[in-house]
């Protein structure tokens, strides 16, 4: 039966959500706008926490007539790609496009084609053409863009998703390390220009940016950003979220069943709750059985932690291989296996595992950096006194034990 006190939610597992579907984040969005009114924001959270949905909420419901422009930077691999993207974003916004008319690197014909093109194939060709033209003088062209924006009479907010992956991707190309450093330094110079005080940047990503910047020696390049961390739901919010999913799918889900789901998942992360709800509902519909706490427990162990749902979690294991050197990869996998098996590991034991796997040259400072990255990327969390580590989330620990509890990262 329809309950007017419950928000009706679609169970969209995976893709970003918009509108009322971006549930339970109103206070956080208020905080983001408050910080953007004052400066630049670094939005941190692991993958599937809802960062992109937050960004879309800022675009869909802008405040104070700010012009919010969103872009995914994951596949950009050189500085000219970034300037091309900035140009396209500005050209396709009716307010900012007027500021770009007459820029030296954008002919009248190209300017018109960018504004009028709706076919993705045509846009792809335009991007390639502009990028090739910008490549020899991307800094100068970028400076010209922001010169125009400085006098446009509006506050422009660039919402740049997967910024760390862009920087990391640049470093993996031949000559890309210097490109990455150049982009970081140029963006900082833009932000520091007195005439660009109407420009705001919000950057976010599912990969921790700290390790990437330390490797480049560029930690100071983003020290003018204020960090905001997107946390899991509170338990009351998570219960309302599950009630909304049940209402939206016309599914009977008792309060006892909702609580059971929260107990199984651990920290109430929306994505994991959606996956569990989806799997429970599939069994409910296919078998024609009522949803009970016993059914939820069985689905959790047999399906959610089973092979058919393994792809929902593989990122957490695979990214260690993708973003850490081989010696660090072995050390981190061994550390995580140990904390999964033992439930809780002392900081000293964590350090000794790291030293054994990373080699005799491993230092306490390097360990501190690795431990901080594992915290930022939502693998582990320290105890309140900082002397022990546990897995950050029960469901992730259960999954790790299921698939990697017997190996040491080989």
Do 263 and 118 fall within a single domain?
A: no
pTM: 0.89
Domain boundary (312, 346, 369) is at 312
Residues 38 and 121 in one domain: yes
Domain that holds residue 276: 235-312
Residue 409 lies in a domain: no
- 125 falls within a domain: yes
Mean pLDDT across 50-75: 94
CATH code for position 295: 1.10.8
Please write the tens of the pLDDT for every residue from 91-140: 888 899 888 878 888 776 666 666 666 566 567 788 888 899 899 999 99
* pLDDT level of residue 202 (50, 70, 90 thresholds): very high
- Is residue 187 domain-shared with residue 276, that is, in the same domain? no
Q: Are residues 154 and 288 in the same domain?
A: no
Structural domain contains residue 20: no
Q: Please state, in angstroms and rounded to a whole number, the distance separating the CA atoms of residues 57 and 21.
A: 10
> Considering its fold, how many domains does the chain have in total?
3
- Residue 2: pLDDT over 60: no
The answer on 360 and 271 residing in a single domain is: no
Same domain for 146 and 286: no
- Cα Rg, the chain, nearest whole Å: 23
Q: Answer yes or no: are the C-beta atoms of 289 and 282 closer than 8 Å.
A: no
* Residue where one domain finishes, among candidates 281, 312, 343: 312
225 and 239 belong to one structural domain:
no
Summarize the confidence of residues 335-351 as an average pLDDT: 92
Per-residue model confidence as pLDDT tens digits over 366-396 = 899 889 888 888 899 999 998 999 999 999 9
Task: Give residue 362's pLDDT.
Answer: 83
Q: Are residues 332 and 395 in the same domain?
A: yes
Average pLDDT over residues 254-272: 95
Considering the domain architecture, whether residues 57 and 148 belong to the same structural domain is answered as yes
Domain endpoint, select from 229, 250, 267: 229
Whole-number pLDDT of residue 410? 44
User: At residue 3, does pLDDT exceed 70?
Assistant: no
Tell me which residue of 196, 164, 215 sits closest to 377, measured CA to CA: 164
Phi-psi region of 50 (alpha: psi -120 to 50; beta: other; left: phi over 0): left
Residues 32 and 128 in one domain: yes
Confidence of residue 5 (pLDDT cuts 50, 70, 90): low
CATH code for the domain in which residue 336 is found? 1.10.10.10
């Amino acid at each position: 039966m329809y309950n007017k006190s419950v928000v009706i939610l679609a169970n969209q597992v995976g893709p970003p959500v918009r509108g009322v579907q971006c549930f339970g984040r109103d206070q956080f969005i208020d905080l983001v706008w408050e910080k953007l009114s004052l400066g630049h924001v670094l939005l941190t959270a692991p993958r599937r926490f809802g960062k992109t949905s937050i960004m879309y909420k800022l675009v869909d419901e802008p405040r104070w007539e700010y012009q919010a422009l969103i872009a995914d930077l994951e596949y950009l691999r050189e500085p000219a790609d970034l300037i091309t993207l900035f140009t396209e974003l500005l050209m396709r916004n009716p307010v900012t496009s007027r500021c770009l008319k007459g820029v030296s690197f954008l002919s009248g014909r190209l300017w018109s084609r960018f504004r009028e093109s709706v076919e993705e194939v045509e846009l792809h060709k335009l991007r390639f053409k502009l990028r090739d033209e910008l490549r020899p003088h991307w800094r100068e062209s970028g400076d010209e863009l922001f010169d125009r924006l400085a006098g446009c009479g509006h506050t422009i907010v660039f919402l740049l998703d997967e910024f760390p992956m862009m920087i990391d991707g640049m470093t993996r190309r031949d000559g890309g390390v210097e490109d990455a450093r150049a982009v970081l330094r140029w963006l900082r110079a833009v932000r520091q220009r007195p005439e660009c005080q109407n420009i705001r940047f919000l950057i976010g990503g599912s990969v921790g940016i700290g390790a990437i910047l330390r490797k480049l020696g560029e930690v100071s390049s983003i020290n003018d950003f204020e960090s905001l961390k997107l946390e899991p739901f509170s338990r009351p919010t998570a219960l309302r979220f599950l009630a909304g999913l049940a209402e939206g799918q016309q599914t009977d889900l008792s309060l006892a069943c909702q609580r059971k789901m929260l107990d199984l998942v651990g920290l109430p992360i929306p994505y994991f709750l959606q996956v569990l709800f989806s799997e429970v509902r599939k069994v409910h519909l296919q078998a024609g059985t009522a949803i009970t706490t016993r059914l939820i427990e069985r689905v959790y162990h047999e399906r959610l932690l089973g092979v058919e749902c393994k792809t929902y979690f593989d990122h957490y294991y695979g990214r260690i291989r993708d973003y850490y050197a081989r010696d660090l990869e072995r050390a981190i996998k061994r550390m995580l296996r140990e904390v999964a098996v033992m439930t809780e590991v002392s900081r000293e034991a964590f350090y000794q595992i790291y030293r054994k796997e990373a080699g005799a040259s491993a230092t306490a400072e390097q360990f501190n950096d690795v431990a901080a990255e594992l915290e930022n990327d939502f693998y582990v969390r320290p105890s309140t006194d900082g002397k022990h580590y546990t897995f950050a989330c029960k469901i992730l620990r259960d999954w790790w034990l299921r698939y990697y509890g017997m190996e040491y990262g080989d």
